[in-house]
Structure formats: structure tokens, C-alpha cells
Amino acid sequence: MKYNIIIADDLSDEAIDLLRQSGQNIYFGLEELPNADALIVRSTKVTKNLIDQAPQLKIIARAGVGMDTIDEIYAHSKNIFTANAPGGNADNAAETTIGLMLGMAHNIVKAHSLLYHQKKWERNTTQGFELKGKTLGIIGCGNVGSRVAKISLALGMNIMIYDPYITQYPENTIAVSELTDLLPKCDLLTLHVPLTIETYHMISEKELSLLPFQACIVNASRGAVVNEADLIQALNSRHIKSAALDVFETEPLSTDSPLFDIENIILLPHLGGASIEARNRVSIMAAEAVLDFLNNLSE
């Protein structure tokens, strides 16, 4: 039996070839949604309304890790299976995090901008600090957080981890059971958690105030994990030395966002899962999840 697979967003060529070779019916865009058996998305938001347009839908697969763009509760109530690509972009996200840490520590973005755009040879005003010997606090030690921990250890950092959902941690790291035990000891803080009810705004005014004066923050997980308004206030007061954000509460970031008015910040357009390799991996993983599911239906 042939099934109808809808590809709503761009996938890698290798993933598309895999789907075509399966012999299933492949459609691009949402025009055939009413006849869809399977739906593959990357950035398309799968809402209740969209799901209702696909009465025979059996599986939704996301070529990515986070599932906050899919109404999973409603999908599951309709007996629709959901799948993602766990770990598919972990290397990319970890490297992006480390890059942002280095960028903040050594004022790379500011120094480049002054020299390239203003022809200013500024060394004193862009003096940075070394990561070696600093304490990095990691919230979430899954596929990405564990990689960040290992790379940071190689840079000579001290690593503390808060993750109430795991029992095994990378070697030579310190695990804490409460977030309040982690925050006061961090020179830098990185976040690697999915967006859930529990993690929404988990870093807000109270948590920011617990960080040491002039601590730095990197968020390459999900924007709404951090309360942007509270972060802006902490940055403007200089309690937080600098922040590097690859994700935002609303994406794309609005052109009138107050984040653009802050000097001590690095902003990226959600590049943590956008490398060539990561895009190919998550595309293939989503395609394989769909094909495996449909093959099992046929057996």
C-alpha cells in the first residue's frame, strides 16, 4: 500500500532521495494535506487547526529536536504518532554554544565590528577574559549539555551541572540537586533544555539576581526559557556582564526588539541547528522515522 507523505519545509537532498526511493507518494507543500498520511516539518507550526485539515494523518515528524511547535497533546488525542530527531543537531548546538562563550569572553564581535566597520584599532576597550579556570554552570545535560561540558573541561573550566532528570554526569563535573545551588557559583551559565511548562521562564528576575555580579549567559536552547524582559533589565544594570542569544521568545526577532539597543549582547538567528551536517542528519532521521512507522503499518 502506498501512503501520502507531505514535506512541509526544506529537507536535505539525501533525505528527499530516501523518501522517493521508498516508493511512497511524496508531496511538497500543504496542498495535499487533506490526503496526508504522514507530515514532515521543520519550522511549520503544527496547530490544532492544521491537524484538523488532515483527517487521515497518522504521523508527524519534525526534522529537529524541540517539539514545542507541534501541538502534541492534540495530535496524540487523535491517535497521531509524533517523532523528532533526538541528538541530530547536538554537535552543532554545542559548538555554537562554545563559540558564543568564546565570543563573549574575548569580545570578538565587538572588536571585529570596531575594526571592520569603524577602522578603529581598539585593544584596551575590548580586553576580554580567559575561560580557563572559570566556573561554567550548565542547565540541562542531555545530548547538547554533555557535549558542552566535555569541550569546556578541555578548555580548563570548572563544570557544575543542574539536571533533575538524569543520574549520570560527565566525568570531572559537579552535579547539584537545586538550581539555587548552581547559580551563585557561575561565572558563565549555559542553558540546554526543551521548552515545557516547567522550563518556561525558568531564568527570570529571581534567578538572574542569584548569579554573581558580572556573570555571563548563553542561551542556545529555546528563547522562552529565559524571561527576555528580566534579562534586558539585568544587562542594562550591568549585573549581568553580557549575554549571547541564539534563540528568542518570538522568532524571527522583531526589528523593534529592545535587544537591539543593548551593547553587551551577541545575537544570532537560531543557528544552533543550522549547519549543513545537522540539517542533513535531522532530515534523514525524520524521513527514517516516517518510513519505519509506515512500513510497520503495512506489516
Residue 291: CB atoms within 10 Å: 21
247 Cβ contact list (under 8 Å, min separation 6): 219, 220, 221, 222, 223, 270, 272
- Res. 164: pLDDT tops 90: yes
Shared domain for 282 and 242, answered yes or no, is no
User: Do 65 and 150 reside in the same domain of the chain?
Assistant: no
Helix (H, G, I), strand (E, B) or coil at 38: strand
- Residues 19, 21, 27, 33: is their CA dihedral positive or negative? negative
pLDDT, tens only, 29-68: 999 999 999 999 999 999 999 999 999 999 999 999 999 9
Q: Is residue 112 domain-resident?
A: no
Interval 113-122: pLDDT, tens: 999 999 999 9
Section 98-123 average pLDDT: 96
Residue 188 pLDDT exceeds 80: yes
Same domain, 162 and 218: yes
pLDDT band at residue 299, thresholds of 50, 70 and 90?
A: low
Read off the pLDDT of residues 269-288 as tens digits, 9 standing for 90 and up.
999 989 999 999 999 999 99
pLDDT-derived band at 255, boundaries 50, 70, 90: very high
pLDDT for 298 equals 73
Domain identity same for 281 and 231:
no
Same domain, yes or no, for 160 and 290? no
State whether 287 and 245 are in the same domain: no
Domain count, the chain: 2
The pLDDT score that the predictor gives to residue 1 is 85
Same domain for 217 and 137:
yes
Q: Is the pLDDT of residue 127 over 90?
A: yes
Reduced to 3 states (helix: H, G, I; strand: E, B; else coil), residue 137 is: strand
Q: Residue 254: pLDDT band by 50, 70, 90 thresholds?
A: very high
On whether both 133 and 213 belong to a single domain, the answer is: yes
Q: Is 93 helix (H, G, I), strand (E, B) or coil?
A: helix
> Residue 104's pLDDT band (boundaries 50, 70, 90)?
very high
Per DSSP, what are the bridge partners of residue 4? 25
Whether residue 102 is contained in a domain is answered as no
Q: Is the peptide bond before 258 cis (omega within 30 degrees of 0)?
A: no
Percent of the chain surpassing pLDDT 70: 100
Q: CA triplet 168, 170, 175: central angle to 5 degrees?
A: 65
Asked whether residue 174 is domain-assigned, the answer is: yes
Mean pLDDT of 142-160: 98
138/262 same-domain check: yes
Tell me the residue range of the domain where 19 lies: 4-88+276-297
Instruction: State the average pLDDT over residues 231-248.
Output: 98
Catalytically active residues, by annotation: 222, 251, 270
| Residue percentage of the chain with pLDDT more than 90 | 98
The DSSP bridge partners found for residue 111 are none
Check residue 141 and give its pLDDT.
98
**CATH number, position 291:** 3.40.50.720
- Whether residue 216 is contained in a domain is answered as yes
Do 38 and 143 have their domain in common? Answer: no
Mean pLDDT, the chain, whole residue set: 97
- Both 220 and 157 in one domain: the answer is yes
Same domain? 260 vs 171: yes
